[in-house]
Structures are given as structure tokens and as C-alpha cells.
Structure 1
């Protein structure tokens, strides 16, 4: 009876094992729509299913997903009764090519070290033999004193050689150990990413008819994002400007994206399935940065600064955030802003309403730099927005909702490293002009101006500037804070020379009663040494005052366009090849002679 029962249990186990094997399938990733935070992945799979209740295990699913976003499409004969998601920790993981290369290097170094170790042991044995045989006396060996002296010299020379060989071998093994340690640290860093562990779905199915069925599975995966950036290329000032839009795509979903159809979206994935509802929109004065004041420990709000906008006398308020305990050597203490897992510019962050903020975390020092590198040197503010409120049912990005489809199949490994893709390229008719402010900088800059840039659907992103095949530097495109014309600095043009000098013969200091009168005259010399004509925007300034005891007069503007609200002088100059122009302007100040003012 026991044998029959054992055989029956064994038969059930084998049957269950075979059924599990039969109903375990590998999902093939077909497409990925990557958002600023997250990605929608679409897989296909097929399996033979028996009639009745059946369990289907689908492998090769992302390791972190939104379970509520899962969508399964299949034939009408199959009814989905339940879904379970889990990570398959028992599945064998394939080492990345990077780790394999590092391990091969360690093996080669170990083989070399083994040879050195063997040579060291042999050297030590020879040394011991010489050491044991050196205690010889002439009376015991029948050697003369001369012969014994020669033998001792031989021992001395040979032992010295063996000692030097030992030191050399030891030093070589030490260097190999150091190289092995560095390689092992690199392997540990690669393994610490833990990005190769995939997930799986377990489907409970009711099958009406025996047969083979196809499945389409889609869901939102968390560990993926993309960031845009630009290459701005100008071959010469006679050629159009080339604006190349690129994307850095990063994913650690646990599955390699091989030959998938990629789409990139500037929006955030929808978190809820309900249709959006518009509510009344009331305008009000806000300073969004104050959304964090009083809510986060360690956060310092700088005092409000008053400024004046050009072409307007209206005052503008501005404020900034500094994390206590951080400092920057360049004076920029602005922290890094991370909203819903995605990096955001300060201007975009300022648009977030305080009522939309769910939680705020402040990272400082090592906690910030370990996660975000040098970008977190001034601290990191991590903000999570609210979800599920009745008056807004989706979380949307503040930028334009654009989608970029990449026609060619693309590979994105699950290693956390950014993969670059070119998503758009435009040739733009730009105007080029030179720009100089000799009071602040003796160099002349070449600018590219793009009118009607709104048609380009630009996104907030960094831009690499390449002029005449040379990398010039970086800029930042912020379409939300850009005027009618988009400007790029293409670098310094040393072939246009500008000098600003104070003319002492035309400057003076006089005393009238209780007042002191000073007059200043400056001469600006511009020389074009280029072989082509140039347009130059030249700027300088004269002082302003809000003190009734101080009087300022612009005596001569030198033919400039004058902005009296800001005290700015603008000259639009055209210079032919080899031409030199000189411009003079003068101003005076009168104030009580017992006072000092900041004028020169």
C-alpha cells in the first residue's frame, strides 16, 4: 500500500512539474515608450493551454512595475481570472559583458602572480641552501685561506643577487594585487547595481477551448527614464545653424531591451484610468518657492530681492533656496531639484503649486553626492507630488507633451548607463552678430540669434555648442524663460578687438561750495581684423541714483541708444574688414564733498 501511495504521489509531482514547465513562457519585448519618469513596455508571448482552469507564468518582465497598469490582450476564449507579480530570484542571471571582461582580466593577473609566487619560492629555497652551506672552515675542507676567501665572496655575491630577486618579485606581486583589488572593486560596483534581476507575471486563466494562444502584455515600469539635450552646430557665420535633438535613455528594469521599437515622450505616464475633468481656474499672485518654507528642516529661504525689468519700471520679486550646511566655491548654492524621480530646472520647479506637493526630502553631503554625483554638491530637494485627488486625476509634465518615435530598432541594456539616440535634426536660418561689454570683459563674443523659436517645440535641456568644428561650451535652453529671440554664445572672436580707456584729459574733479563735481569721459576703440564685415552690439553704462543729494548727468552718449531706466548705452555698429571706430561718452556726478560714493 505504501508503494502504491508513493508511486501515486510521484506521478502527481511529475505531472505538476511538467505542467509548470509547459505553462512557463518567455515574454518578448517589442516596444517601449519612455517617459521622463517610467516607461510603458509592451511584450508578446504565446502558450499552449488546456481546457479549463490554467496557470500561466510569463517570464522576462521588468523588476519593478505598477501592478495597476497591467493590460493583457488575448483571444475571447481565454478569460483572465487573476494576476500576480513577483521577482524571480531563482532564475539564472547572465553576467554582463563588462563583468566578464573584468573577471577575465583578474584571471590573467592571477596566472601571472602564480608564476611570480613559484619563482619566489624557488628563490627562497636557493637562499636557504646557500645559507646552510656558508658556515665552512678551512681546516674542515682542506681549503687554503685564499680559496676560502673566494668561496665566501661567491656566497656574498650570490646571496645578494637572490635578495634583490626576492625584492623584485615581491614588488611585482604587490602591483598585481593592487590591480586585482581595483578590478574587484569595479566588479563589486557593477554587481551592486542589481539591475539584471527580472520579474514575472503569474496569470490565472479560464480556457474555453484547448489550443495555442497569443498574449500581448503592457504595463508601466518604474526604473526607466530619458533626458533630452541638444547639439548646436555652426560651421561658419554664412551657414545655417544646425540644432540636433538627442536623448539619453537609462533603464534598470532587469531586462535588456534588444531591438525594440522606441518612443520618447515628454509627459509623465498616466497614473489613473479616469478621464480628466476641468475645474475653474483662478489666477492669483504666488511665489512658488515658498511652497517649501516651514515644511522642511534644514532649508533656508533667502531674503526677497527687488529688481527692475528692462523696458519696464515694474518691480520684480525673486527668491532662492539654500540648504543649510552646504556651500559652493563658485557662489552658486542652488540645490538640485528632483520631482517624481526626474530632474527639473529651477524655473520649472517654481511653477509647482504648494497644494500639489505630497512630501519633501532634503539630501545633504554624502547622501546627496552618492546618489546624484557632483550635481548634488549643493544638496538635493526630492519632491513627490500628490496623486488620486478628485480635482486632478492625472500627473502631467509642465512641458509640452511631445512624442518622438525612433524608426530603427534600438538596444538599451539594463546597466543603468545612458544610451544616446538622435531624435531630431533641424537646419535653422539664424542671424549672427558680435557682442561686447568692454567694461566687464575685453573679449568680443559671437552670438547666434534664432527668431520664431517657438515653432521648434523646444524642451528645457542642456545644449553643447560646437562652432567651426570646435567645442565651445555648454548652454541651457529654457523655453519658459526665453524672449522673442533665442540666443546662443558661439565663443570669443579674437579677431575683433575692443579697448575701453578713461580719458584723463577730459575727466575732472571740481569743488563747488559744499559739493564735489566729477566728470568722466571714456573712449572705446573697436577694430575689425577679419576679412569680412561684422555687425556688433556694443554695450556700456552710466550710473543711476535714488538719493536726492546725488545728481547724475549724461553729458554725451556718443550716438548710443539710451535706456534711462537702466542706465544702459547700446550701439549697433557695422564694421567693414580692417575698419577701426572710436566712440566717446561722458557723464558727471555731483554730491556732498564730505561723502564718498561708489563711482570710478
Structure 2
């Protein structure tokens, strides 16, 4: 029976491939990441030793979110790659991240402190019991005199008070340490739950005719990563150029930590397919921009779009000093470009953004004030950045600082296709604006079957600064979407009327302490048996 089993085992072993298809696990840590606006290409390499025959080299511990169509493998050495496959390993979890190790270290430190404090508390409690026992022995002696009893009470009271206070303080310290440890335990549990996921594996089949050493270079794309541009725009004075601090918020939820990797940020899209993409019809039309909130006369009312600029109600003084930008190289290729961060960085998985300063640009700018009294009685200082397209700016949120004061948040919209990029630098109370209805010139008249409404306004802008300023004043006339409604300008005081948007613009130069006024009048004619809601 034993001989039969031995023969069966030998036959089974001999029938199994010894040199072909054997798996060897290799380490291929991520060394470089190209982060796209949505998605990231991870690259790494591994050293291999190839023996004659066919071998499966398994690069494990990878992201479980790899797009299999994006996998690229290049071999360096005297061997041939005959196949590449991707699979998911549900049995092995990725290596413990630095964040988890740090949490475990903090918890261990708190546990040691709790042991120390607990031991100290036991000593104090034993001292308390000792004092009570000695007091009972001495106080119950029948030979004790009143003087001895008073001395005993005084000594007992002083020592007991000291011990009681020490016990109270120790209990408070222990309670605080337990609360802190409980929070860390919860954080660790949540982190471990997120880390309990399968890992990805790339299996590279290699064949060789003789022993050889070589290298495998792997790259693949994960889509749950990306970067968002953001900006700090700083202006000290309207006689100075603007400083644009170009930043990137890098995030990833790939399931593995990018540890000490070189990162490139690209505005291109990742190529995840190995086939030629197909061109679809591309339709083009005119671009129409509405710089004022559009008001359309419909016969029932008006509708305004919300303003895009967001302002803080109260300016906050901020420190102008900021950390130096990371060493970054900008690489351009036709219509795409990338920022190469030359210092390795670590980005944890979990979606928390890692902010990197890419560039600090000093750009020429012109400044003027803009007022829209129909919407706000404030004057806003505007900066106009020319030739902005050569700075590789992308659409993104911006923090605005003027004279070392945070004035609000904005949005850089590079899709507006203008030569000049406008930036609002905040409100200036030294420019006052009024928009008053001229009641004597506002009227309603019936002319035949129609009603004619005339609306007239006096707009005044005063410069309370010590130097002359340039102010762009904007208002608007309604637009008609009905042939029975006619809108006409009556008096514009030299303003420019855009018939497509209804916007009326005046460019004013106002000397120090002076005021300028414009008259703005328009008429609306519509059937008298209908209703039109105007301002």
C-alpha cells in the first residue's frame, strides 16, 4: 500500500510542469505617478531572474482598481514576454500604511502612560488606606489625651487632604488618557476597515532559453485619483503686478499608498485603451458671454442668474508670508502640458487632498474699478491679467488677497476665450455709488392699443480717494423675447449699449474728491391689456 501511494505521488509530481508556468512573486513598488485631472498612471519596475523555461512573475500588492486595458509591461533582458494578465487577490491585504503604523504607535504610547498613571493611583490609594487604618488604631486608644487627639486630627487632615487631591488629579489624567485612546481606537478601526480590501496582481509570463537577469517595467491606470488646480492671487497695490500662486490639490483612493514617489501633473486624459480612438462629428457655434445677470422681459417677470463671485462679509487680515514652492518643471507638448514635481512625495489613499504649490508667477496687470449699482452699491477693484494663456492656467477656485487682506473667493474661468483675464480684488468703500429713480421722468402712458412705460435713473459715482480712479459703470436694459414688446433706449449719457446682452457700459475717470453722474433712461412698449413686470 505504501509503495502504491509512493508511485502515485511520483507520477503526479512528474506530470506537473517543473519549468513551465511556475509563479514567482516579485515586488514592483510605485516609483512614478502621472496624475491626470481624472485618473492616474502608476509606474514601477522589478528585478527578475529568469531560468530556462516559462515562468509567471506576479507583481502583487497593487491597486485593486487597475484598468486591465491600460496595463503596459516592458522587459529588459535576454528573455521574451509571452503574456500579461490581471487578477484580483482576495486573500492578501496591502502592506500596513504609515498612517496605520503611526496610529498604532500613538495608541501604544497612551497604553504605557495609562499603566504608569494606574500604578501611581494604586500607590495613592494604598497610602489613603494606611492613613485611615492608623487613624482608627490611635483614635480608639483609651489612653489618648485631648492634646494628642487634636494633633492626630491635624496631622491626619493634612496628609489625607494631600492624598485625596493627588487621587483626584490622577483620576482626571487617567480619564483624559482613556478618552484620547478611545478616539484613536475608533480612528484606527475605521482606517483598518478601509484597508481591508483585495489587492491587484499583474501576472507577466516570461520564457527564456538560458539563465538571465533582467527587469520588468510596469505601468497601469487607476481612475479614482486626480488633481484640482487652485490659486492664490495677491496684489499689494494697484501700482504693482499681480502674483499668482498656482497650486494643485492631489487626491487618490487607489487602495495603496503612494510612498516617496515622483509625481507629474498633467492636463491630458489618460489613455486606457490599446486601440485607435474614433473621431466623432465636432460641431462649432458662436460663443456668447453674458457679463451682467441677464434680465429678459417675458410679459410676467424677470429672472436673474446668481453671481459667480463669492465675497466674504468681512475682510480678514492674512499673513503674506507663504512657504516656497516645490521644485517643479513644466513640460509642454502641443496642447497638453505637465508639471513635474522633482521632490518625491507621499500621498495616502483615502481621498484626502495633498496640496502642492506648483508655481509662483509675477504677471503684469492693469487695474480699474467696476460698479454695477443695479445689483450692488459697492465698487469692486478689478485686476486684468494680460497674456494669461502662456501661464498654463486651468479653471479653478481662487483665494483673493489685496493689501495683505483676504477679500474673498473667486473662480478663474479660462474657458471664456478672452485676451484678458479679469480678477475681482474685493470691494472698496472709498468709491460710493448711488442709483436713484428719477420719479419726474418715470411714467406710464397709453398710446392707442399700447402702453408705454418710461424708466429713468440717475447714477452717481463719487471718488473719495486721494488719487484719480478709472471706473467702469455697468447697467442693463431688458431684452424682449416677444414681438409685441419693444424696448428702446431714450438717454444713455454716452454709454455703450450691447443689443445682444442689453448691457450698457460707461467708462469714467473721476478726480480725487469728485463725483460724476450719468442719466439712464429707456422705454418699454407692450399691449395695454397685458402685464409686464419691470424693475
**TM-score in same-fold range (> 0.5):** yes
Q: In the alignment, what sits opposite 2:143?
A: 142
User: Retained in 2: the 8 A contact 1:241–1:429?
Assistant: yes
Alignment partner of 1:446 out of 373, 381, 384: 381
Q: 1:116 to 1:573 in 2, by over 3 A?
A: same
User: Retained in 2: the 8 A contact 1:438–1:498?
Assistant: no
User: Retained in 2: the 8 A contact 1:234–1:466?
Assistant: yes
Alignment of 1:183-222 (within 5 A): 183-194=184-195, 199-222=200-223
Q: 1:27 and 1:247 mapped to 2: Cα distance? A: 27
Alignment of 1:77-226 (within 5 A): 77-81=79-83, 83-87=85-89, 90=92, 93-96=95-98, 98-135=99-136, 140-148=141-149, 150-152=151-153, 154-155=155-156, 158-194=159-195, 199-226=200-227
Q: In the alignment, what sits opposite 1:412?
A: 346
User: Retained in 1: the 8 A contact 2:495–2:505?
Assistant: yes
Q: 2:280 and 2:490 mapped to 1: Cα distance? A: 58
User: Retained in 2: the 8 A contact 1:261–1:407?
Assistant: yes
User: Retained in 1: the 8 A contact 2:61–2:94?
Assistant: no
How much has 1:498 moved relative to structure 2? 1.1
SS in 2 for 1:123: helix
Q: In the alignment, what sits opposite 2:266?
A: 265
Alignment partner of 1:534 out of 445, 454, 469: 469
1:497 aligns with 2:497: no
**Residues 53-79 of structure 1 deviation map (CA, whole Å, 9 limit, x = unaligned):** 223233453343122322222257424
Alignment of 1:518-557 (within 5 A): 522=458, 524-531=460-467, 533-540=468-475, 557=492
Q: 1:277 to 1:137 in 2, by over 3 A?
A: closer
Q: 1:535 and 1:597 mapped to 2: Cα distance? A: 36
Q: 1:57 to 1:127 in 2, by over 3 A?
A: same
How much has 1:283 moved relative to structure 2? 8.5
Q: 1:195 and 1:308 mapped to 2: Cα distance? A: 51
Q: 1:566 and 1:153 mapped to 2: Cα distance? A: 92
Q: In the alignment, what sits opposite 1:460?
A: 395
Q: 1:184 to 1:208 in 2, by over 3 A?
A: same
Alignment of 1:13-24 (within 5 A): 23-24=24-25
Q: 1:524 to 1:89 in 2, by over 3 A?
A: same
Q: 1:550 to 1:29 in 2, by over 3 A?
A: closer
SS in 1 for 2:123: helix
Q: 2:373 and 2:427 mapped to 1: Cα distance? A: 13
SS in 2 for 1:172: helix
Q: 1:547 and 1:47 mapped to 2: Cα distance? A: 76
How much has 1:435 moved relative to structure 2? 1.0
1:64 aligns with 2:65: yes
RMSD: 5.2
Q: In the alignment, what sits opposite 1:234?
A: 235
How much has 1:48 moved relative to structure 2? 1.7
Q: 1:214 to 1:587 in 2, by over 3 A?
A: closer
Q: 2:524 and 2:338 mapped to 1: Cα distance? A: 62
User: Retained in 1: the 8 A contact 2:393–2:414?
Assistant: yes
SS in 1 for 2:210: coil
SS in 1 for 2:37: coil
Q: 1:510 and 1:92 mapped to 2: Cα distance? A: 77
Q: In the alignment, what sits opposite 1:436?
A: 371
Q: In the alignment, what sits opposite 1:51?
A: 52
How much has 1:568 moved relative to structure 2? 5.4
Alignment of 1:477-516 (within 5 A): 477-481=412-416, 485-494=420-429, 496-500=430-434, 502=436
How much has 1:470 moved relative to structure 2? 4.0
SS in 2 for 1:37: coil
How much has 1:487 moved relative to structure 2? 1.5
**Residues 285-313 of structure 1 deviation map (CA, whole Å, 9 limit, x = unaligned):** xxxxxxxxxxxxxxxxxxxxxx9968999
Q: In the alignment, what sits opposite 1:403?
A: 337
1:581 aligns with 2:515: yes
Q: 1:312 to 1:541 in 2, by over 3 A?
A: closer
How much has 1:136 moved relative to structure 2? 6.2
How much has 1:140 moved relative to structure 2? 4.5
How much has 1:428 moved relative to structure 2? 4.2
In structure 2, the gaps of 5 or more residues are 286-291, 309-333, 526-530
Q: 1:244 and 1:456 mapped to 2: Cα distance? A: 11
Q: 1:424 and 1:466 mapped to 2: Cα distance? A: 17
Q: In the alignment, what sits opposite 1:277?
A: 278
How much has 1:181 moved relative to structure 2? 2.0
Alignment of 1:256-335 (within 5 A): 256-257=257-258, 260-279=261-280
Q: 1:102 to 1:124 in 2, by over 3 A?
A: same
**Residues 291-346 of structure 1 deviation map (CA, whole Å, 9 limit, x = unaligned):** xxxxxxxxxxxxxxxx9968999xxx9999xxxxxxxxx999xxxxxxxxxxxxxx
SS in 2 for 1:209: coil
How much has 1:241 moved relative to structure 2? 3.6
Q: 1:142 and 1:477 mapped to 2: Cα distance? A: 93
Q: 1:28 to 1:21 in 2, by over 3 A?
A: farther
